[in-house]
Amino acid sequence: MRTAPLHTRPLTRLVLGLTAVPLLVGSAVLPASAAPALKDNRPPGAERIVNTETLRWNAPRDFHIGTAVAGGGHHVDQPYPDPFFNDEEYRYVLAKEFNSLSPENQAKWEFIHPEQDVYNFEAMDAIAKFAKRNRQEVRGHTLFWHSQNPAWLEQGNFSKEELRAILKDHIQTVVGRYKGQVYQWDVANEIFTDGPNPVLRTGPTAQGGNIWLRELGPEIIADAFRWAHEADPEATLMFNDYGVENINPKSTAYYNLIQELLAQGVPVDGFAIQGHLSTRFGFPGGLQENLQRFSDLGLETAITEIDVRMDVPVGQQPTAEQETRQASDYDRALEACLAVEGCNSFTVWGATDKYSWVPVFFSGEGFATVMTDDFDRKPAYFQMRDSLAQAKQDRR
């Protein structure tokens, strides 16, 4: 008898506990830093979530409904401990609601490769282990980016040959470690500038330049994809960016570049749209058409970092009208993805406002996720869940 994929089977048991995992330093394995012991008990409020009412239960069997796992980056400076290791109810929601997890910052260079000869795998290993125990899959983010690079890299005095070797080692070490555990990798992230005439980010770091493009030239993009493919031939390798929801100069720059790379036999498998939206602006009505043109190239597509931020005065809550608009934007984006063959990954960039990046980086805006600080589900959550359930029914 054929069994259902792991992420669609009933969740009869959620495993929330993890043991500390090692910190790999060069070729030696040293004891991990003291990560809090994670408990297996059901957290307060767990009874609010019923299996058949969750996003993952209602998703089609071939569809990844995911979230970013909060940690690293700006969270280090917030007045709370690491969310993933310390918040039981948060972990419970991650396991119950989603069948795909993305490290928000835990696989970015500054976190996972903090010194030249040091790889810190503790948090990423924990996410991978948690996902396996809870029958989830993992998206990898990200291998080649202009931001959140460690000082040793950006301020180092490296030759071109040394930089090339550093990048190859990083990609093959990280991708190789999670071979078979990560189904998609954002290989090249945000490589084009904004504006009406986007170009590759070859400028100074302080102006948003990409060290790899500046020092090694555009040919290094193809090398990055080849190295990742060598490390894990089964992983889907993608470009990822913001501001590319519609057919516009920036998304067209990717469209043209990808065609060139495919003609050269470079293993580019997909194009991912982040989807950081705001109710200040209209919904990107060309989203489905844009996803479709990349699909027509034979690529997988994905929406990887969606949130919908709102203008709410300090100390106040969103109005019903604002939440209705937010719900519409989330659902229209989901519907666009569901309508395109090969768009089988949709990731909200944070499950709860409690740990959202938006208020930290967008003054006066917030409430951007599908759950409140207390994990109450918003209208956006329910509207998406209904659309997933309908798609599940339609695909039977």
Considering the candidates 88, 97, 110, 305, report the single residue annotated as catalytic. 305
φ, ψ for residue 382, nearest 5 deg: -65, -35
Pairing relation of β-strands 300-311 and 365-366? antiparallel
Residue 67: its H or E element: strand 64-69
Catalytic site residue 190?
yes
Considering the candidates 88, 89, 122, 190, report the single residue annotated as catalytic. 190
Length of the chain: 396
Catalytic site residue 321?
no
Sorted by where each begins, the domain ranges of the chain are 51-394
Give the single-character DSSP code of 99.
Answer: S
φ, ψ for residue 367, nearest 5 deg: 50, 40
Class of domain 51-394: alpha beta
pTM, two decimals, is 0.90
Going residue by residue through the chain (396 aa), what tens digit of pLDDT does each one get? 333 333 333 343 344 555 443 344 343 332 333 344 444 445 555 556 668 899 999 999 999 999 999 999 999 999 999 999 999 999 999 999 999 999 999 999 999 999 999 999 999 999 999 999 999 999 999 999 999 999 999 999 999 999 999 999 999 999 999 999 999 999 999 999 999 999 999 999 999 999 999 999 999 999 999 999 999 999 999 999 999 999 999 999 999 999 999 999 999 999 999 999 999 999 999 999 999 999 999 999 999 999 999 999 989 999 999 999 999 999 999 999 999 999 999 999 999 999 999 999 999 999 999 999 999 999 999 999 999 999 999 998
Whole-number Å distance between alpha carbons of 189 and 194:
13
